[in-house]
Amino acid sequence: MVRRLTRILQSAFFISLLALTDVAAFLAAIAVAALLRAQIFTHLKWFRLEPVPLADQLRVGGPGAVFLLLVILAFEKLYTRRRAFWEEARALIKGATLTFVLIMTLVFLTRSYTFFSRATIVLAWGLSLFLLPFGRLALKKLLKGSRVGRKSVLIIGTNSVAELLAKEIEKNDYLGYRVAGFLGARAMGDERFVDEASVVGDLAELPAVVDRLGVRDVFIALPNLSERDLFLTIRQSEMVVERIRIVSRVGSLYFMGLEVESLGDVTSLAVACNMAKPWNVRIKHALSFLTALILAVGLAPLGLLIALAIRLDSRGPILFRQDRLGKNGVVFRFLKFRSMHVEGDRLLAAHLEAHPEAREQWARFQKLKGFDPRVTRVGRLLRRLSLDELPQLLNVLSGDMDLVGPRPYLPREQELMGLASPIITRVRPGITGLWQVRGRNLLSFDRRLVLDEYYIRNWSLWLDIVILMKTVRVLARREGAF
């Protein structure tokens, strides 16, 4: 009883902190927007009217706006469901946008123009899109290491999927989960991969383990279970815990992004393939083209300096052109700044012949992680900073590529792609993609295929935005670059 009361109080305290943080970010957005309106925008010819004082706006509409924000965020389950940072950011942006749309609608319907500054409301909306997500990020960073906001979970399964799940939970500490231990299920064919010391019992002991550890959430990581055994495991779990999550087999793409559809008394699962929809493809490429055009113009001086450095460093052309697989399997000329010697193939063959460990590495990754005899001095710097990829903006402008998408594969790799080839070559390749921000060159070839196919099936504009922002971080940290 005492443990349960403590857990309820800790949960209430954490939710209160989240709500206070959201309100503080919301009011900060309004305050900064009012300051910009009063000090900067008032000098523009479109804003000749005197700005409405911030104190008056908050006195009239502040409490109602805050209440509206909290109700909408609660409706989006932002106080009850744990999400990774980018998923939570999307929900916060959606909630903030809906809040400001309703505020503007109420101002229009009540004709309260004299009490509120419409420019301030619009500016506050734009600022809130950043302040709300990063306010929560700052709070969770501040609470890191404390018990506030932490939630213990139990993993049913000791196999490789359960082990990977535990590592992902540990890596994504923003979620606030802590793995209390693993439950084995030997009677159901569960294999033992995890450390023996972290196994806290067997599935038959679930009620006692849950009571002893005080956990309320379980993850069922038993992908090989029959439908009957899975049903029995769920039934056994739901008697003693509050929330159950089922983890599918890693790499089983058809279980990713499934949508439940009701067909009368029949329930179906719709397999996602978002990039198969023509309008999605057109919108994506239009935005890629406009962004690439802006970047190409802005980065032109840097491109000229790189071209000069390549010319002075080694003999050969400035640009490296290579055949790659494009949309619908059509081969196109892929552009990069040349980073290798012109006799690179001969140098590579000799190196692989003399170094068996390099030959093994090449067979697995189709790349060399250490010394690569083909790369020039300038090329090493360009690769480390990923500046050799800049000419691919021209590939985007010519319609062969998008900014985000599967990395273009070599024609000789099509056979290695196997069954993934038809769906991956169905779309335009990209300058950056999902596997570039999930490990880059440290990933195996098979893992890249899984991530590329996941991207195509679950594409959204938000996913592209997340990948582009993560790409900036990866480039800044030089993660997986060699």
Residue 312 vs residue 116, higher pLDDT: 312
Assign 390 a pLDDT band (cuts: 50, 70, 90): very high
**C-alpha separations of 380 from 44, 114, 322, 441 in Å:** 49, 61, 19, 15
How far apart CA 420 and CA 428 sit, in angstroms, is 15
Q: What is the model's pTM?
A: 0.78
Predicted confidence at residue 262, as pLDDT, reads 67
For the chain, percent of residues with pLDDT exceeding 90: 30
What's the token pair of residue 321? 């052109």
- How many C-beta atoms surround the C-beta of residue 81 within 10 A? 11
Predicted confidence at residue 15, as pLDDT, reads 92
Instruction: Look at 74-78, 87-91, 172-176, 191-195 and tell me which has the smallest mean pLDDT.
Output: 191-195
Is the pLDDT reported for residue 231 higher than 90? no
Question: Which stretches within 367-419 are classed as H helix?
Answer: 377-385, 392-397, 414-417
What's the token pair of residue 421? 């080839």
The terminus-to-terminus CA distance of the chain in angstroms comes to 56
Is the pLDDT reported for residue 54 higher than 60? yes
How far apart CA 103 and CA 91 sit, in angstroms, is 18
Instruction: Look at 85-89, 124-128, 145-149, 365-369 and tell me which has the smallest mean pLDDT.
Output: 365-369
User: What crossing angle do the helices spanning 344-354 and 356-365 adopt, rounded to 10°?
Assistant: 120
Is the pLDDT reported for residue 47 higher than 80? no
- Residue 322 φ then ψ, to 5°: -145, 145
- How many C-beta atoms surround the C-beta of residue 274 within 10 A? 16
Predicted confidence at residue 230, as pLDDT, reads 84
For the chain, percent of residues with pLDDT exceeding 70: 84
Tokens 């989006």 correspond to what residue?
76
> Three-state SS for 404?
strand
Predicted confidence at residue 130, as pLDDT, reads 94
How far apart CA 112 and CA 60 sit, in angstroms, is 10
How far apart CA 375 and CA 270 sit, in angstroms, is 47
Predicted confidence at residue 264, as pLDDT, reads 67
How far apart CA 87 and CA 435 sit, in angstroms, is 18
How far apart CA 184 and CA 203 sit, in angstroms, is 6
What's the token pair of residue 59? 């006195």
DSSP category for residue 375:
B
Domain ranges of the chain: 2-143, 151-250, 278-340+375-477
Residue 101 exposed, middle or buried by CB count within 10 Å (0-12, 13-18, 19+): exposed
Assign 38 a pLDDT band (cuts: 50, 70, 90): confident
Most confident of 10-24, 353-367, 426-440: 10-24
Most confident of 9-13, 39-43, 55-59, 295-299: 295-299
Predicted confidence at residue 5, as pLDDT, reads 74
Dump pLDDT digits (tens) for 234-284: 888 888 888 898 887 654 555 556 666 766 667 676 767 777 788 888 999
Predicted confidence at residue 279, as pLDDT, reads 87
Predicted confidence at residue 138, as pLDDT, reads 94
Dump pLDDT digits (tens) for 464-481: 999 999 888 888 776 655
As assigned by CATH, the class of the 151-250 domain is: alpha beta
Is the pLDDT reported for residue 8 higher than 60? yes
Dump pLDDT digits (tens) for 411-453: 988 888 888 888 888 899 999 988 888 776 667 788 888 888 8
Report the run of H or E that residue 267 belongs to, with start and end. strand 266-270
Q: Which residues, including other chains, have CB under 8 Å from residue 360's CB and lie 6 or more apart?
A: none
Query: For residue 149, which of 25, 27, 239, 19 has the smallest C-alpha distance?
Result: 19
What's the token pair of residue 214? 């005080």
How far apart CA 388 and CA 163 sit, in angstroms, is 37
